Structure 1
Amino acid sequence: MNNNKRTHMLKYLLCAGLAALMSFSAASKDHKIILIHGLQVSQITNKSGSDVVNDGETYWQTYWNNRADERIDWPAYERIEGKIATDWVWPKLKQMSRSNLCADGCVLVTHSTGDLVARHIIDNQANWLENAGLEPLNIVATFDLAGAGGGSELADIAVSALTGAAWNFAVDAALKWWLGSDVTEAVGVLHDLKVNNARKISPFPDARTPRLRFIADGNAYLGLTGGFLKGNDDSVVASHSSCGASTAKSFGSCSSSIDTNGQLKSQGDAVKSFMPHHYPMMMSDSYSHNEIHNAQRKGNVTIAMNNINVDGQNVGFNTFDETTGSWFWKKQYRYIKDSNNNSASALIYNVIP
């Protein structure tokens, strides 16, 4: 064999080996991944032109689609305890039960309102499936990115403004940035996202499923929406929701000792009481609400809690500390390893057991 042929053969074998390794890596998770997306604004502004399944696929296309085993798509123009549950969630649950998808355990990866949909699933899926003569899904954990399970004050002002109860120029500007200028009526899941309404949907599921939280704290929409949200926020949901706080109050961090930017210092306005089995893990002031589930790296991220037990396995991040300045200007920060190179989504995917 001459040198050229030998070189081509070596390149072929190397590429084949790398392809096999990548394929094995993508399929090597012990648990299946099920995606549940968040609010699709276009489905509110253009219900007749909506394609729920295609919209669901597009929602996750930058990172999660080709790393997941299944999706639960749902339309924003319906209600969670109404047709979202009966017409969209229920058929998927039956399909996954019959295929034994979750025999070895499933992890739900949610974004935004998907957090609230997941909570309703966790509270009801076992009864629904058992009553239909089917095996309940073995849901071992949820990974909730920018979770809206605690509701959003933006939904409160949207419903008030769009039903004619309240309106001013500041509200109008915020809603145009968040929902777009074509929203003319409050429909569907907007009602479920009102803070009080959201916190009444399946608030205390019997299942002790750990809900791992990943919190964004970055600005978007020119900061116009943040003024309507309590405490720190990601421009769509406040930290009381994304952290999983038991009350809808103003909070600055999910950790009493670490700021969302990673600085190690006492946080007097931190969340101290959480909803059952809610564990905030990652925080970052570099990502906004609609960035944390995508593939682009935005900045360093830090830790809130670490080393959570998921189906007998430890889920946690490696961290490192960094010091800046000296004397009176000395500050210490804690970051998750490799967050300076990888997107938040990549870091999250890597720790799914």
Structure 2
Amino acid sequence: MTRYLLENQARWLQNEGLPPLKILASIDYSGAGGGTELANLAVNLAYNPTWYNWPLRAAVQAFTGIEPEPGKLGVVNDLQTNTARNLALSPNSIPRLRFVAGGSSYGGITKPFIAGTDDGVVPTHSACGATSAQGIDSCSGNLSLAGKVGNQNGPAGLFYNHYPVLMNEGVSHSGVLGSETGNISVPVVNNTTLNGLQVDFASRTYGKRPWWKLWGSKDQYIEVPGSDQTDMSALVYTTLNN
């Protein structure tokens, strides 16, 4: 829906004799622009209501809040991975700033049915803006959701003008826009200006040795210092509004 709006709003408003909106960027919190496997599952179950699918049905009901039936799916149809990835794909000049979660939702019941890492609703490949629906573990090939520096299963490519700015391994899907604290945010695309908007989250690099590793070099981590003291949306607002 956001892609469709950004692609067409100038033409719509000009047709009404109005100036187009001046949009610096779109801030996407756990955005499902690439869909979610839970929607695929919901549609499949709506047309295959067999009794032995009860674990799958429980996951879908946690996600949608409804019994999966053909006439009740609504926007879930558009959130199927292939469907979502084929809506309004024209290149757009407005940057999409992505803020990605990796925590648990619904007690973890949905996680087994989502490819790669996820926030309980949206897979990382979707939230990052990856060009492929293949399951991945991070928005970066050399940085984990927890901030550990090293080789990661990251995206092969990103949609045009999509920028994963922050990742947070601990925050849940709803917590990205909620009041969850205690979770460290990790900067990915940082210290840059996108369409006039300065993206400059504080960052620090530090070494940490796992409790079981008694010698040798420490693992390197990157974080936004103090990010665990506030919720993610407040951190984004405070930083980008300066």
Same fold (TM over 0.5): yes
Is the 8 Å Cα contact of residues 42 and 68 (structure 2) preserved in structure 1? no
Other structure's SS at 2:229 match:
coil
Question: Corresponding residue for 1:189?
Answer: 75
Question: Corresponding residue for 2:24?
Answer: 140
Is the 8 Å Cα contact of residues 245 and 275 (structure 1) preserved in structure 2? yes
How far apart, CA to CA, are the structure 2 residues paired with 1:313 and 1:173? 42
TM-score (norm 2): 0.90
The percent of aligned pairs where both chains have the same amino acid is 36
How far apart, CA to CA, are the structure 2 residues paired with 1:194 and 1:119? 16
How far apart, CA to CA, are the structure 1 residues paired with 2:67 and 2:49? 18
Higher relative contact order (CA 8 A, sep 6+): 2
Other structure's SS at 1:340 match:
helix
How far apart, CA to CA, are the structure 2 residues paired with 1:338 and 1:208? 33
How far apart, CA to CA, are the structure 2 residues paired with 1:321 and 1:338? 13
The Cα shift of 1:226 comes to: 1.2
Is the 8 Å Cα contact of residues 160 and 166 (structure 1) preserved in structure 2? no
Question: Corresponding residue for 1:210?
Answer: 95
Q: Deviation string for 1:180-208 (max 9, x for gaps)?
A: 35554443211111111111111124x31
Within a 5 Å distance, the mapping from 1:28-43 to structure 2 comes to: none
Question: Corresponding residue for 1:296?
Answer: 180
How far apart, CA to CA, are the structure 1 residues paired with 2:112 and 2:15? 46
Amino acid at match of 1:301: S
Within a 5 Å distance, the mapping from 1:281-320 to structure 2 comes to: 281-320=165-204
Amino acid at match of 2:37: E
User: Which structure shows the higher helix fraction?
Assistant: 1
Is the 8 Å Cα contact of residues 197 and 240 (structure 2) preserved in structure 1? no
How far apart, CA to CA, are the structure 2 residues paired with 1:181 and 1:132? 39
Structure 2: tracts of 5 or more residues without a match? none
Question: Corresponding residue for 1:237?
Answer: 122
Within a 5 Å distance, the mapping from 1:126-165 to structure 2 comes to: 126-164=10-48
TM-score (norm 1): 0.63
RMSD in angstroms over aligned alpha carbons? Answer: 1.9
152-161 or 307-316, larger mean C-alpha shift:
307-316
Structure 1 counterpart of 2:220, from 313, 325, 332: 332
How far apart, CA to CA, are the structure 1 residues paired with 2:118 and 2:13? 37
Amino acid at match of 1:177: A
Question: Corresponding residue for 1:112?
Answer: none
How far apart, CA to CA, are the structure 2 residues paired with 1:183 and 1:249? 25
Question: Corresponding residue for 1:342?
Answer: 230
The Cα shift of 1:166 comes to: 7.0
Within a 5 Å distance, the mapping from 1:241-260 to structure 2 comes to: 241-260=126-145
How far apart, CA to CA, are the structure 2 residues paired with 1:272 and 1:187? 31
Is the 8 Å Cα contact of residues 155 and 190 (structure 1) preserved in structure 2? yes
Other structure's SS at 2:227 match:
coil
240-249 or 218-227, larger mean C-alpha shift:
218-227
Q: 1:247 to 1:166 in 2, by over 3 A?
A: farther
How far apart, CA to CA, are the structure 2 residues paired with 1:296 and 1:233? 17
The Cα shift of 1:165 comes to: 6.8
Structure 1 counterpart of 2:86, from 197, 200, 209: 200
Question: Corresponding residue for 1:72?
Answer: none
Q: Deviation string for 1:101-128 (max 9, x for gaps)?
A: xxxxxxxxxxxxxxxx211100111111
